[in-house]
Structure 1
Amino acid sequence: MTTAERSGARWVLHLDMDAFFASAEQLTRPTLADRPVLVGGAGPRGVVAGASYQARVFGARSAMPMGQARRRCPHATVLPPRFALYKALSDEVMGVLAEFSPVLEPVSVDEAFVEPPSLAGASPSEVEEFGTALRVAVRERTGLPASVGAGSGKQVAKIASELAKPDGLRVVAHAEQDAVLAPLPVRSLWGIGPVSGEALRKIGIETIGQLAAMDGREVAGVLGAAMGSELHRLARGIDDRPVAPRGAAKQISAETTFDTDLTTMSAVHSAVESICVAVHRRLVADGRAARTVTVKARTGDFVTHTRSETTPFAGRDLSTLTAVARRLADTAVGQGGVRLLGVSVSGFGDEPPPALFDAVPSDQGWTAAPAALSDPAPADTAPSAVQSGPAPSAVPSGPAPSAARSGPAPSAVLSDTAPPVTGPGAPEAPPDGRTVIIDTPLAPGPDPHAIGPNTGRPDTLRPDREPDPDRPWRAGDDVHHPEHGHGWVQGAGHGRVTVRFETAFTGPGRTRTLDAADPELTRADPLHSWRPAS
């Protein structure tokens, strides 16, 4: 081991699950292995939450409008996301990481940093052995591939894991760090997005090496003193940010982008009630209580209005939360149809008193929402809990609310995570500025609502829908039949449903076409496609 390696004693590793959502679908639905898969909303405003590497070859990618992705890869299989499955897999991955290192920092549902004390002062070959064992353990525990990068800090480790994709390992020795970073595009650095990247391009800076060679004062003049100084340090491989557990999210939210604009207040109220169920579920699962409710409404012409109210006491009563949100929606909704609705809670406090927001005055008065709202959220309710990037600043806001406000408008949820990853591997925002949001850890239960990484996934991620009485089965549904076992719906219509019966532990299975009303065909737990029912 060289003197340079001994002096650079720190080793940080970054593990990133490869095409996590799509890989989980390919694992549990073996017929799809090695085939292009798109995960996300299939409606006219659906967004890709995950794309398999086979689909990426054709130009499809995460955060792309689903219609565009399907035009680029028309033979891809499109599936709705299954959050319960992803959450369970994520828990296993984080469990493996915790076994390998007591110092663990989850970044999103599918990636995390570790800084194992046992690797302090280790040689690159020792780090490589550690990374290999880590990848093997994740594969054995979950069945999924993971890429691992290692370097002197979080920035280099993240870049190394990108270089290792797919399903690889890259250890950037301290002595070769400058040579590895120098030729990479400047947008590979954390914190450099389209705006700052374009500012650097205009002065002829396109690679990390060119940025590192600049005078620090010149960088500050282009990017600002604080940001410029930090990015200049990262470009030179100086990164002393600690690996530490992430703090709790400062805001919990859920929002829905509708396939068609809502044009009546009754429809708006109904949607708000459903979204509140998702927010409340996460609030309760986290064991938290909130003082502030914020409602966001975006019209068909992309004008966004927000309204907030704050009570002196923190609480988490669903009916009163819903009532306040409905009342706020009355003033947040502008002229024209409503394209998107969101509800967020913040101002977290201690264990709540018996009721939430009882102290909030109302000129209009309100009636508590019915107890039936404790049922699962319907379709199109998107989780959101961790911001994957800055909220779109170009969206105009409506007039200030008359009630008190607490914090920024919830166009994305605040988080204590590291800055969003940018660069060639990072997802691009959809045309209307929506961000992808996924939180770690996700809330427990069959429908965990948590949402933003860094890498973000689209805000149109949707939990399992309630059955449509006219067409109870949809493509991607998990089902069970006492004779054929666990399977998933490939298509349905005209009173028939086609199911492929297979799981991760059965290998590719056969398809059966059954009567859609067959009483023996029932809905099943998505987890049983990964692990047998006990």
Structure 2
Amino acid sequence: MSDATDNLLLPWEGPAILLVDLDAFFASVEQLDHPGWRGKPVIVGGDADAHGVVSTCSYEARAFGVRSAMAASLARELCPGAIWTHGHFSRYREMSNAIMGILRDETPHVQQVSIDEAFMDVTPTKVNHEHPVSVARRIQARVAALGVTCSVGVGTTKSVAKVASDMDKPRGLTVVYPGSEATFLAPLPVRTMSGVGAAAEHALVSHGVRTLGDLARADEGLLRRVFGKNADMMRARAAGGDVSPVEADDTVKSISNEVTFARDLTEREEVASALSTIAAKVGRRLRRKQLAGRTLGIRVRYADRTTRSAQMRLPRQTDDELFFTPYALRLVEDLWQPGMRIRLLGVSMTGFEEEGVVQEALFDVDEAAPLDDGVRSPLIASEEKRRGLLAATDALKDKFGESAVRFGCELRNERNTTGSSSKNPADYK
């Protein structure tokens, strides 16, 4: 590993991947827009008294031990003098788009992985001989000119660049030169590597695999038990040999939305209402991106913080929440019974790549009649009428905002959210 501040850069041969990570992005934008907040602890997240979580926080808050995804109540205890905000996500999206534009000015090979993070392939070519570190420095300067900062990892693979980007924050630039990957990675804890979660870390450490060097040399049987079909990939990553490409297209793999509730849901009516509201947001996002999916997923987090999920294949691809919400309600019944306390609900849609013939309306039956699979038909049986209603509500929201028109079910839990939000990349593109 070389210090990127050296004036003399070593020659670079082979692939060159950058990982650009915006430093404490949401909080940095808030400090940019509120000069009086600069130099002070700022926390962007949900309400401490309502099961909220920290979306992100400034480095001043991190000095008190506050971290992303931490319970807001704990963050308040650690840093009682922090400035709190629920966030301004349209502003974050605007700033993210401007920064991604800078990256695409440098190369068309950009893979945005979240609102504040992107890979870039800047491999020198016969036409462009510029050193990757020079590109990284210029990007940092251009981003800083917008009023926020970024840290950059430079390596020969995506996994090495990702690890490098986390080594020196904020405003860090860490370079792993070709041939030094294994030496750089070997002493680092296994949890450093993307794809190693808490359960995998525990399993590995219990067998004496504590570092990435240990992981690169670990018994194949152990890796199969821990990582399953991804065992070979994880070994390659640990050794610095991962060769996954920077995928320059913006293919969306999933559309999802989830909500954490200030007060746990326990009754069927409030669960159904919340699920319908979340499904409506997923449907709108599908239509805005002109996508239709066929695999519907549900995620439930209970009061004890355990999480379960379920998914099913729909009869056809759809972007119509009035069509797929009854299936979502059926799925949630597999995970929950009245009286169980729900803290979070999520809905996701995948399966966009499938091709199929668009069928006529499937639910031209009596409104209250159950389907053969136990799913109740939509309240509006006619697909033509459903599409007309959704087109009208979409048009009103486009013109007057997301709150301009809502179905009655969306009002029930309107005040029962924490103000927290995730960094789902699909929400910001």
Do Structure 1 and Structure 2 share a fold, with TM-score over 0.5? Answer: yes
In the other structure, the counterpart of 1:36 is 41
Counterpart code for 1:19 = A
Question: Which secondary structure state, in structure 1, belongs to the residue aligned with residue 259 of structure 2?
Answer: strand
Rounded Cα–Cα distance in structure 2 between residues aligned with 1:17 and 1:59: 20
1:74 aligns with 2:80: yes
- Correspondence 1:133-532 to 2 at 5 A: 133-140=138-145, 142-212=146-216, 214=217, 217=220, 220=223, 223=226, 227-245=230-248, 248-300=251-303, 311-322=314-325, 325=328, 333-336=336-339, 337-348=341-352, 358=363, 362-363=370-371, 364-368=376-380, 376=402, 378=414, 437-443=422-428
With over 3 angstroms needed to count, the CA separation of the structure-2 counterparts of 1:178 and 1:267, relative to structure 1, is: closer
How far does residue 264 in structure 1 lie from its aligned partner after superposition? 3.6
Size of the aligned set, in residue pairs, is 386
With over 3 angstroms needed to count, the CA separation of the structure-2 counterparts of 1:226 and 1:76, relative to structure 1, is: same
Question: Which secondary structure state, in structure 2, belongs to the residue aligned with residue 275 of structure 1?
Answer: helix
How far does residue 6 in structure 1 lie from its aligned partner after superposition? 6.3
Residue from 12, 15, 19 that aligns with 1:10 = 15
In the other structure, the counterpart of 2:4 is none
Question: Which secondary structure state, in structure 1, belongs to the residue aligned with residue 237 of structure 2?
Answer: helix
Rounded Cα–Cα distance in structure 2 between residues aligned with 1:307 and 1:188: 29
1:46 aligns with 2:58: no
Structure 2: tracts of 5 or more residues without a match? 1-9, 381-385, 404-413
1:104 aligns with 2:116: no
- Note the alpha carbon deviations across 1:368-398, whole angstroms, 9 max, x for none: 3987976626566799xxxxxxxxxxxxxxx
Residue from 52, 63, 66 that aligns with 2:69 = 63
Decide which structure has greater helix share.
2
How far does residue 224 in structure 1 lie from its aligned partner after superposition? 6.0
1:95 aligns with 2:101: yes
What is the RMSD computed on CA atoms of the aligned residues? 3.7
Is the CA contact 2:140–2:150 (under 8 Å) kept in the aligned structure 1? yes
Counterpart code for 1:85 = R
Rounded Cα–Cα distance in structure 2 between residues aligned with 1:39 and 1:240: 36
- Note the alpha carbon deviations across 1:514-534, whole angstroms, 9 max, x for none: xxxxxxxxxxxxxxxxxxxxx
Is the CA contact 2:322–2:378 (under 8 Å) kept in the aligned structure 1? no
Question: Which secondary structure state, in structure 2, belongs to the residue aligned with residue 143 of structure 1?
Answer: coil
Is the CA contact 1:295–1:332 (under 8 Å) kept in the aligned structure 2? no
- Note the alpha carbon deviations across 1:384-424, whole angstroms, 9 max, x for none: xxxxxxxxxxxxxxxxxxxxxxxxxxxxxxxxxxxxxxxxx
Is the CA contact 1:219–1:232 (under 8 Å) kept in the aligned structure 2? no
Rounded Cα–Cα distance in structure 1 between residues aligned with 2:304 and 2:200: 28
Counterpart code for 1:281 = R
Moved more, 352-361 or 193-202: 352-361
In the other structure, the counterpart of 2:409 is none
How far does residue 160 in structure 1 lie from its aligned partner after superposition? 1.7
Is the CA contact 1:269–1:326 (under 8 Å) kept in the aligned structure 2? yes
How far does residue 28 in structure 1 lie from its aligned partner after superposition? 1.2
With over 3 angstroms needed to count, the CA separation of the structure-2 counterparts of 1:359 and 1:245, relative to structure 1, is: farther
With over 3 angstroms needed to count, the CA separation of the structure-2 counterparts of 1:119 and 1:59, relative to structure 1, is: farther
How far does residue 240 in structure 1 lie from its aligned partner after superposition? 1.8
Rounded Cα–Cα distance in structure 2 between residues aligned with 1:231 and 1:13: 20
Rounded Cα–Cα distance in structure 2 between residues aligned with 1:225 and 1:269: 36
How far does residue 146 in structure 1 lie from its aligned partner after superposition? 0.6
Rounded Cα–Cα distance in structure 2 between residues aligned with 1:355 and 1:82: 41
Counterpart code for 2:158 = K
With over 3 angstroms needed to count, the CA separation of the structure-2 counterparts of 1:145 and 1:120, relative to structure 1, is: farther
Moved more, 324-333 or 9-18: 324-333
Moved more, 227-236 or 321-330: 321-330
Rounded Cα–Cα distance in structure 2 between residues aligned with 1:287 and 1:224: 35
- Note the alpha carbon deviations across 1:49-102, whole angstroms, 9 max, x for none: 101111111110001111011111111111103221121111112111111112
Rounded Cα–Cα distance in structure 2 between residues aligned with 1:354 and 1:83: 37
Rounded Cα–Cα distance in structure 2 between residues aligned with 1:16 and 1:238: 22
Question: Which secondary structure state, in structure 2, belongs to the residue aligned with residue 44 of structure 1?
Answer: coil
Counterpart code for 2:379 = T
Is the CA contact 1:14–1:157 (under 8 Å) kept in the aligned structure 2? yes
With over 3 angstroms needed to count, the CA separation of the structure-2 counterparts of 1:379 and 1:106, relative to structure 1, is: farther
In the other structure, the counterpart of 1:493 is none
Counterpart code for 2:194 = W
Rounded Cα–Cα distance in structure 1 between residues aligned with 2:348 and 2:90: 22
TM-score (ref. length: structure 2): 0.76
TM-score (ref. length: structure 1): 0.62
Is the CA contact 2:292–2:317 (under 8 Å) kept in the aligned structure 1? yes
Counterpart code for 1:367 = L
How far does residue 350 in structure 1 lie from its aligned partner after superposition? 6.6
With over 3 angstroms needed to count, the CA separation of the structure-2 counterparts of 1:335 and 1:190, relative to structure 1, is: same
Rounded Cα–Cα distance in structure 2 between residues aligned with 1:134 and 1:36: 27
Counterpart code for 1:254 = N
